[in-house]
A and B are shown apart, each in its own frame.
Chain A
Amino acid sequence: NAGVMQNPRHLVRRRGQEARLRCSPMKGHSHVYWYRQLPEEGLKFMVYLQKENIIDESGMPKERFSAEFPKEGPSILRIQQVVRGDSAAYFCASLPPAGGTDTQYFGPGTRLTVL
């Protein structure tokens, strides 16, 4: 049973470019969470999605950031017009349908570097 998968593992972008980060949850998991880890900091919640729905995006910046979790395929975190301050590790976590457990399982992360 594969764990949470994220790609790419490392992504380098120049200022002003777009970054697309992908997350495939564990098999049978329908809830996806994105977190951002700045250098030497803990993880901060960004957004919570279920299939085709954004449930809670209270931790995501209002501009340049968007997330989706389509009916088919991975969840995508999209950052438009990246700036140096977006350099961070972005982690995705997944959870089975409601009532299963409250333990989130994390992917290996995507380390974004903005030049």
Chain B
Amino acid sequence: DIQMTQSPSFLSTSVGDRVTINCKASQNINRYLNWYQQRLGEAPKLLIHNANSLQTGIPSRFSGSGSGTDFTFTISSLQPEDVATYFCLQHNSWPRTFGGGTKLELK
């Protein structure tokens, strides 16, 4: 199975901050990586697919980059409603595997 190592696991941030989250795959997954937001008690919501494609309806402050084994997710200017847990998913091969998640909190 492909291991997805996500960092950091926790981030204390402020409104307006630039937030960066990383996912590293244990082997090449090309660009087959998605990023999700999960608010407490809700289902995950797709933000970015195939490493850098913004899902329809998602604000442009969210972006993704990377290919191969190293990927980055960025929120350019954190808004209060962005407080949530974010995680990555590789869909290059089965079984699909997930990063461990990054929980954002406001300072």
Task: Judge: A and B partners, yes or no.
Answer: no
